[in-house]
Amino acid sequence: MELYFTGIIIAVSTFLIIGIFHPIVIKVEYYWGTRPWWGFLLLGLVCIATAVCIANVIVSSVLGVVGASFLWSIGELIEQKKRVERGWFPMNPKRKAAYQTKDEEQKTV
């Protein structure tokens, strides 16, 4: 009986990649805000374009997942900013002016 681990390797890699991107998004938003979204876009497109050119199934799949994670992180950066404004995550005191707090939000309504 021959065993094939390709699916398991891709699944574990996907799980780890998604797990790694969660704190990356939090740290990027904390230090730089949503401005680096274009970097995520560029890296995501490069990873996906590279994945299309690679014949190895595992490497191509992992690159595709990394690319998709970069692209997904663009939306997560914006959502992370909203989570900080709601008080769910700590605000970077050096970037306080970049956030609309609940008090300011109620004043504008």
The answer on pLDDT for 98 being more than 60 is: yes
pLDDT of residue 65: 97
| Domain count across the chain | 1
Judge whether 26 and 78 are in contact, CB under 8 Å.
no
Are 35 and 77 spatial neighbours (Cβ–Cβ below 8 Å)? Answer: no
Residue the block writes with tokens 């938003």 = 29
pTM of the model: 0.84
- Residue 101 lies inside a defined structural domain of this protein: no
The confidence band for 77, taking pLDDT boundaries of 50, 70 and 90, is: very high
Collect all residues with Cβ–Cβ distance below 8 Å to 62 and sequence separation of at least 6.
10, 13, 14, 17
Q: Is 43 within a domain?
A: yes
Amino acid code (one letter) for 55: A
CA nearest 84: which of 18, 20, 28?
28
Q: Is residue 19 part of a domain?
A: yes
26 assigned to some structural domain: yes
Within a domain: residue 81? yes
pLDDT in tens, 45-68: 999 999 999 999 999 999 999 999
Q: In this structure, is residue 95 part of a structural domain? A: no
For residue 97, what pLDDT is reported? Answer: 85
pLDDT of residue 34: 92
Q: Is residue 38 part of a domain?
A: yes
The whole domain housing 61 covers: 9-90
